[in-house]
Amino acid sequence: MSVPRLVIAAPASGSGKTTVTAGLMAAFAERGLDVSPHKVGPDYIDPGYHALAISSAASSGASGAGRSRAGGARPGRNLDAYLCGPERIAPLFLHGAAGCDLALVEGVMGLFDGAAGQGELASTAHVAKLLRAPVVLVVDASSQSRSVAALVHGFASWDPEVRVAGVILNKVGSDRHEAMLREALEGCGVPVFGALRRTRAVRAPSRHLGLVPVAERHAEAVDSAAALAARVREGCDLDGLLALARSAPPLSGRAWDPQEEIHRAVATVPGAGVRGGRPVVAVAGGAAFTFSYAEHAELLTAAGARVVPFDPLRDERLPEGTGGLVIGGGFPEVYAPELSANEPLRAAVAGLAASGAPIAAECAGLLYLAHSLDGEPMCGVLAAKARMSERLTLGYREAVAVSDTSLAAAGTRVRGHEFHRTTVAPGAGPEPAWGLVHPERRTEGFAQGDVHASYLHVHWASVPGAAARFVGRCAPPAG
């Protein structure tokens, strides 16, 4: 399948990948191209900026910008070779990018930085090779001139299977500085596709876990996206980059299909399959719960559920007929007083748990189900107290389901990711959700009734049986 595509990478974090990628997405979408946004790794904040950059370009008046051929806005999608397995990267990409004019994939960290101790696994370079995609290197040129050629040459020659096909110079100080950089790169064999000046106008604010999510600063983020698009239009060779993207060879194999995944899971996973009707699965969203992989809702829908979003900051009741609840990641610690003040919804969640309905809660969801968060009462489903911590917990994990839960039968092996600055005491219930086996051994999370609550983020595309099992345990709609 032929999909024009580029991977936007960098020598190191902090080079400006996200701002450059978002600017490119917005600039191409303003031209009327159907742009498909992707992100290497487990990060869930950057895809929000990607989707906003494209959709805001649509609102600026470009015909068809930011929308797929089917008419819906494209969500930002993650491509994580550790969580999902290398064999699923191209199929997931083809699924997300189906019918697009251009797919842009933002890398993670430095180009060759992957899962700790596992070589290239899950690195940007690894994903670029799996996608057979040209790589454009975003270089922070703020403190160098001629040395940029040595840096680019090193990255371009390090792995012959990675096609570093272009450079965008970022944080350039002046016309003279740009001329020096371009002159140095003339004999490098890697063309320069753009030079962007230093600016503070488009920086996104950060806090304890990285950028502030789009949902918390939508108006400002829209303005930043427009400024980024203008900056990229002025400083980058968009025609040249599009031609480079179109030079990517066809990808073999089939696109990932949630219906096919669920069909296979129903035949093999204990407890999978809908009991009757289309059960309502409520999915938490809004500013406090911004993280969910797009494939999760697709798998739940394919398994027979009717997925209904709700906002725990605003909605005082669960969606009508809720038979199951999914609460993903986000920043409840930022909104603890507001979440606590919504007593009717907290009582409804506690009541749903007491009724035996399945609840899947990851990270932020775990905090919301706890007795309290930084002293503020939460839903009280779990006999645990959560609080902010000075310590960052971050990294990939391998785990085994210790107990039978709404997501997994005991013994199910998964790969996941932890990323938080909070702690929960106790860290595991009498029946833990997971037994972590690598890189450390410990029990983690809570399996209580049909509640599965854990810090571990798992991408259900690697375990589609989780969605099939979850929907199979939901009560059918009344009537």
Dihedral angle at the C-alpha atoms of 158, 197, 226, 310, nearest 10 degrees?
50
Three-state DSSP class for residue 450: coil
**Structural domains of the chain in order of their starting residue, each with its CATH number:** 5-246 (3.40.50.300), 258-472 (3.40.50.880)
**Which pair of tokens denotes residue 162?**
């990675």
* pLDDT, tens only, 301-349: 999 999 999 999 999 999 999 999 999 999 999 999 999 999 999 999 9
pLDDT at 267: 81
The conformation of residue 275, written as its DSSP 8-state character, comes to S
Q: Sorting pLDDT into bands at 50, 70 and 90, what band is 275?
A: low
- Average pLDDT of the chain, as a whole number: 91
Taking alpha carbons only, the member of 187, 184, 78 closest to residue 139 is 184
Q: What is the pLDDT of residue 273?
A: 67
Residue 475's pLDDT band (cuts 50, 70, 90): confident
Model pLDDT, residue 80: 98
Compute CA distances 92 → 246, 258, 359, 416, whole Å. 20, 10, 26, 17
Ramachandran angles phi, psi of 145, nearest 5°: -135, -90
Instruction: Pick the catalytic residue from 100, 363, 379, 474.
Output: 363
Q: pLDDT value at position 63?
A: 47
Angle at 305 between CA 253 and CA 323, to 5 degrees: 150
State mean pLDDT over 434-457: 96
Whether the predicted pLDDT of 67 surpasses 90? no
Q: Over the stretch 127-164, which tens digit does the pLDDT of each residue have?
A: 999 999 999 999 999 999 999 999 999 999 999 999 99
Query: Residue 211: its pLDDT value, please?
Result: 54
pLDDT at 72: 56
Could you give the count of Cα atoms lying within 13 Å of 311 in the half-sphere of its Cβ? 11
- pLDDT > 90 fraction of the chain, expressed in percent and rounded: 80
Contact 73, 34 (CB under 8 A): no
Q: Is 84 a catalytic residue?
A: no
pLDDT value at 288 more than 90: yes
Taking residues 194-200, report their average pLDDT.
87
Rounded mean pLDDT of 85-99? 98
**Distance separating alpha carbons of residues 478 and 471, to the nearest angstrom:** 15
pLDDT digits (tens, 9 = 90+) for 198-221: 876 555 554 344 455 554 555 565
Give the chain's largest Cα–Cα span: 73
